[in-house]
C-alpha cells in the first residue's frame, strides 16, 4: 500500500463507522419512540380504566346514598305515623273513659268557677288587665317614638338651614356685588332658603301625626304609671298559682276535664315526658279564660281578639298550645 492510499482507507473506515453509528442511533431513536408510544397508550388505557372504575364507584355510592336517604325517610314516616296512631289511640281511650265516667255520674272539673274567696283576686286581675288594655303595644309605642325623633331631627335641620341662610344674608349685606364673596354668599343663601322651605313644608305635613303620637304616648305613660302602682302583677301570680294547684289536683285524682279543654292540644291528660310543659300551657289557658270571662263550652280561648294587649296574650297562649303538638 502506498503512502497516499493509507489516508484514503482511514477516511473510508471513519465514514463507515459514522454511518453505522447513525444507523444504530436512528434505530434506537425509532425504538424509543415506539416504546414511548406504547407506554403512553398503556397509560391512557389505564387512566381510562381507572376513570371508568371511579365513575362506577361514584354511581354505586350515589345509589347507596339515595337508598339510605329513602330508608331514612320511610323510617321517619313510619315513626311519625306510629306516634300519631299512639296519640290518637290514647285520646280515644281517654274519651271512652270519660264517657263511661260521665255515665256513672262523674262530672268534669269546673276550671272556670271562681270561688267566693277568689272573687276579689279575680277582680284585681281584670282591673289590671283593663288598665293594660289601654296601653300601647310595643310596635305602636316604638313607631310613635320614632315619629317624634324624626320630627325633632327635622326641626333641628330646619333651624340649621335658617341659621345658614341668615349668615349668607349678612355676608350679602356687607359684600360688594360681583365679588367672589358676594356670589358664594348668594348661592349659599338660595340653597339654604330652598332647603328651609322644603323642611318647613315637611314639618307642616307631619305636625298632626306628631300631635297624635304625643297625645297617645302621654296617655300610655299615665296608663303605665297606673299599672305599676296597681296590685295586678301580684294578683296574677296568686291566681296563676291557684289555677296550677287546681289543675295538678285534677290530674292527680284522674278527674275529667271539660270539653273546651280536651279538644285542644292539651287532650285529656299530660304525657309523662312533657308533664311540666303541659301543666304550664293548661294554666295559661285557664288564666286567659278567667281573666277575660270566657265561658264558651267548645272554644277554649273564644274568638281571636282584633288587637291590643289581649291579642298578644291570645297569641302567647296559642303558641304554648302549639308547642305541645310538636
Please write the tens of the pLDDT for every residue from 309-320: 888 889 999 999
Read off the pLDDT of each residue in 25-43 and give the average, rounded to a whole number.
83
Identify the band that residue 200 occupies on the pLDDT scale cut at 50, 70 and 90.
Answer: very high
Q: Which residue has the cell 354511581?
A: 59
Whether 94 shows a pLDDT value over 90: the answer reads no
Q: How many beta carbons lie within 10 A of that of residue 239, not counting itself? A: 21
Burial class from Cβ neighbours inside 10 Å (0-12, 13-18, 19+) for residue 118 reads middle
Check residue 102 and give its pLDDT: 57
Half-sphere exposure of 97 (CA within 13 A, CB side): 15
pLDDT band at 202 (very low <50, low <70, confident <90, very high): very high
- Read off the pLDDT of residues 115-132 as tens digits, 9 standing for 90 and up: 888 889 899 999 988 888
Q: Where are the domains of the chain?
A: 116-325
Q: The whole model's pTM is what? A: 0.57
Helix (H) or strand (E) holding 269: none
pLDDT band at 93 (very low <50, low <70, confident <90, very high): low
pLDDT at residue 24 is higher than 60: yes
Q: Which of 79-88, 234-243, 253-262 has the lowest mean pLDDT?
A: 79-88
pLDDT of residue 7: 64
Tell me what pLDDT residue 106 has: 60
Dist. CA 312–CA 306, nearest whole Å: 10
Give the per-residue pLDDT at 38. 85
Checking if the pLDDT of 1 tops 60, the result is no
Average pLDDT along the chain: 85
Amino acid at each position: 500500500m502506498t503512502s497516499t492510499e493509507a489516508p484514503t482507507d482511514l477516511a473510508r473506515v471513519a465514514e463507515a463507522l459514522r454511518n453505522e453509528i447513525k444507523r444504530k442511533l436512528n434505530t434506537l431513536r425509532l425504538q424509543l419512540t415506539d416504546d414511548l408510544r406504547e407506554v403512553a397508550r398503556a397509560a391512557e388505557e389505564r387512566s381510562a380504566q381507572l376513570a371508568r372504575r371511579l365513575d362506577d364507584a361514584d354511581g354505586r355510592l350515589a345509589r347507596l346514598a339515595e337508598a339510605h336517604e329513602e330508608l331514612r325517610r320511610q323510617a321517619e314516616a313510619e315513626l311519625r305515623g306510629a306516634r300519631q296512631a299512639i296519640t290518637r289511640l290514647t285520646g280515644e281511650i281517654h274519651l271512652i273513659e270519660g264517657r263511661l265516667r260521665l255515665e256513672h255520674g262523674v262530672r268534669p272539673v269546673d276550671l272556670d268557677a271562681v270561688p267566693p274567696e277568689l272573687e276579689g283576686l279575680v277582680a284585681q286581675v281584670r282591673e289590671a288587665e283593663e288598665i293594660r288594655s289601654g296601653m300601647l303595644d310595643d310596635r305602636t309605642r316604638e313607631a310613635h317614638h320614632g315619629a317624634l325623633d324624626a320630627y325633632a331631627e327635622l326641626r333641628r335641620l330646619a333651624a340649621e338651614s335658617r341659621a345658614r341662610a341668615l349668615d349668607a344674608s349678612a355676608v350679602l349685606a356687607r359684600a360688594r356685588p360681583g365679588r367672589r364673596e358676594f356670589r358664594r354668599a348668594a348661592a349659599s343663601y338660595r340653597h339654604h332658603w330652598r332647603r328651609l322651605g322644603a323642611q318647613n313644608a315637611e314639618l307642616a305635613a307631619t305636625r298632626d301625626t306628631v300631635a297624635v303620637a304625643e297625645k297617645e304616648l302621654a296617655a300610655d305613660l299615665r296608663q303605665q304609671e297606673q299599672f305599676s302602682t296597681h296590685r295586678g302583677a301580684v294578683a296574677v301570680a296568686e291566681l296563676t298559682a291557684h289555677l296550677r294547684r287546681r289543675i295538678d289536683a285534677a290530674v292527680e285524682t284522674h278527674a275529667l276535664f271539660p270539653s273546651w279543654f280536651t279538644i285542644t292540644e292539651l287532650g285529656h291528660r299530660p304525657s309523662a315526658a312533657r308533664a311540666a310543659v303541659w301543666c304550664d300551657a293548661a294554666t295559661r289557658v285557664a288564666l286567659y279564660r278567667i281573666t277575660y270571662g270566657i265561658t264558651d263550652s267548645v272554644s277554649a280561648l273564644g274568638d281571636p281578639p282584633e288587637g291590643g294587649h289581649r291579642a298578644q296574650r291570645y297569641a302567647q297562649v296559642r303558641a304554648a298550645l302549639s308547642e305541645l303538638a310538636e
